[in-house]
Amino acid sequence: MTNQEVIDDLIQHYPEAISDVDEPYGLLTFTTTGGQIIPLLRYLYDHPAFQFQFLTDLCGIHYPHHPGKELGVIYHVHSLVHNVRVRIKVFFPIGDPHVPTATVLYESANWMERETYDFYGVCFDGHPNLVRILNVDEMDYFPLRKEYPLEDATRRDKNDIMFGR
Of 23, 57, 96, 125, the residue at the interface with another protein (CB under 8 A) is 57
Contact between 112 and another protein (CB under 8 A)?
yes
CA distance 110 to 129: 8
Of 3, 33, 36, 53, the residue at the interface with another protein (CB under 8 A) is 53
The site that binds another protein (CB under 8 A) totals a number of residues, namely: 35
Contact between 119 and another protein (CB under 8 A)?
yes
Q: Which is nearer to another protein, 13 or 165 (CB)?
A: 165
CA distance 141 to 121: 8
Q: Which is nearer to another protein, 32 or 110 (CB)?
A: 110
How many CA atoms lie within 13 Å of 22's alpha carbon, on the beta-carbon side? 9
Long-range CB pairs of 70-76, under 8 A, 24+ apart, other chains included:
70/94, 71/97, 71/120, 71/121, 71/122, 73/37, 73/99, 73/116, 73/122, 75/37, 75/41, 75/102
Residues forming contacts to another protein in the complex (CB under 8 A) are 24-25, 27, 29, 53-57, 59, 61, 74, 76, 80, 83, 85, 87, 106-108, 110-112, 115, 119, 132-136, 143-144, 148-150
